[in-house]
Chains A and B, each alone.
Chain A
């Protein structure tokens, strides 16, 4: 119990440590407990990464050749006073601009060149479809992937292992958008005389009220193909990781002990081996969220799913620089935060890493 409180407390405290904490704040603790200092260290590292992202995001786009005004306003009619304001902003010393940017990276004064609207407004309305799609796929993929990994790793070298490792390695080698296009052509469009069953894109049928039950079902129906695509691609990785971490546990002494006690094979697996093997898998699932993002970008494009992924594709095809900047920042923040959560969570379930 106290471990959980320590970590949660450290995380919630906010990164600024302030004056050294009073001793005996934690029950019986001496100074900063290992849990809290671990949490502080991880939060600090995450903030460092975020700062790095901000630096990259700010300076990289300043390196672009050509007139930045032309780039930001590509093909739009911009009122003269707005242009002058923009130019004044860009004429300030670069460090001053950077400080302004740091103060609030989300208040871009520049509109999207394609949509002619403030970029953050565009981005925020696209978050939910992506979360719905990717979240569903991750949940399904981790359940199925972990299950496959356990089955394959526990009976290493048996036929299930051979087949599943072959299949997962193949799925792992597959461009996710290609899998999407194949599913789309087979089940959406129909090939070789077979009719297509599923909708070929979008999040719902135009004209359907998405707040009604029929609307929900319609959205679910539209989700089938993209979610299947992402699930298949993600689960390959989860299964491979789960399998190899289970295999790592197989030779451990505690399993021999458990067997020597006369526990059944199933019990040894479920209560002894799997909980330990799950630890590295959970971290890796979180650590590889960056890979999840790239799946979202291409698969949303293939299925015209109106989320952040499709928005990135549209921004890229412009190229709509202001929009790209915002999306990059958002994706990076999301992944950094997820990593931090994974680190803290990991410390809660596995006390060994805190030292």
Chain B
């Protein structure tokens, strides 16, 4: 900060240059992304689900998914009035799915944010500090990486109190950062070996400055590509945890709808319209994030080539 004022010879120059560079890099990235069909298809699917999530309250007023005010017949197969049939309380499946998209996407993205912040910080710090601290962080990462996710998540959710969306977000966030941390750590180590960091150290920059101004911008593209892949996993995890009954029953996600279908005997009733569509939505959204993530990864890390 102090150096900003001291060397402010070209006042708007430096910021503007940085911004222009960033814009250029983004445009280049987008140009590369556009040529990838799978990535673009993923983006299309994702846009569709994002729109349904945003428009859910407009298309389906809240009372359509209220258990007490549902108008349909119980467990009715698809018909002209209810395109995807109804659930065991007579609610329209289509409305449930649109509202479920809100929960599933929100949880997926919020949990990923937590996971990314922890994973990136731990990864950069453990790659930057070589002493005890770095080693301890690396150990912690290895531990969290090995512990099986679902049992740990179940235990955490029980401790934090199940049945709330916030709990699910926190649980997924704090259990899924280790993979990111390991990836970012490796990248940090390679960035730290480059001459410009040596120069920066020689000029007397502190740890914080090195990590935030030099390492972070360099690992950021990788973080971004990893983020989309993590969202995919987070949404799958949300579905699983909600299916196990840890979700908020009042705001049913796709997983919670599947839980309800399963617990209320939709399988033995042969109600395929109650079970099929929520899962299909999960598959499509997870697949779209995976395809976008893979396309980004190939752009960010050309070494992967046309895999």
Contacts and interface: CB of A to CB of B under 8 A. Distances in A.
26 contacts: A56-B152, A57-B155, A170-B283, A173-B236, A173-B286, A174-B279, A175-B236, A177-B240, A177-B262, A178-B282, A185-B272, A244-B307, A247-B307, A290-B147, A297-B150, A298-B240, A316-B158, A317-B245, A319-B162, A324-B154, A324-B155, A327-B151, A328-B154, A335-B146, A335-B147, A336-B147
A321 to B, nearest CB: 7
Interface in A213-269: 244, 247
Contacts, number: 152
B interface secondary structure, majority:
helix
A173 B151 contact: no
A295 to B, nearest CB: 9
B164 to A, nearest CB: 14
Interface residues of A, number: 59
Interface of B: 139, 142-143, 146-152, 154-156, 158-159, 162, 232, 236, 239-240, 243-246, 255, 258, 261-262, 267-268, 270, 272, 275-276, 278-279, 282-283, 286-287, 290-291, 305-307
Contact of A173 (B246, B255, B275, B287): B287
A contact face: mostly helix, strand, loop, or mixed = helix
Contacts of B246: 316
Given A189-B268, A332-B151, A45 B142 contact: yes
A319 B162 CA distance: 10
Contacts of A328: 151-152, 154-155
Contacts of B148: 289-291, 293-294, 331-332, 335
Nearest to B154: A316
A52 B145 CA distance: 12
B143 A49 contact: yes
A172 B236 CA distance: 10
Contact of B158 (A45, A175, A291, A324): A324
B267 to A, nearest CB: 5
Which 9 pairs from chain A and chain B are nearest by CB?
A294-B150, A290-B148, A178-B279, A173-B286, A173-B287, A293-B148, A52-B143, A331-B151, A328-B151
Interface in A164-196: 169-170, 172-175, 177-179, 181-182, 184-186, 188-192
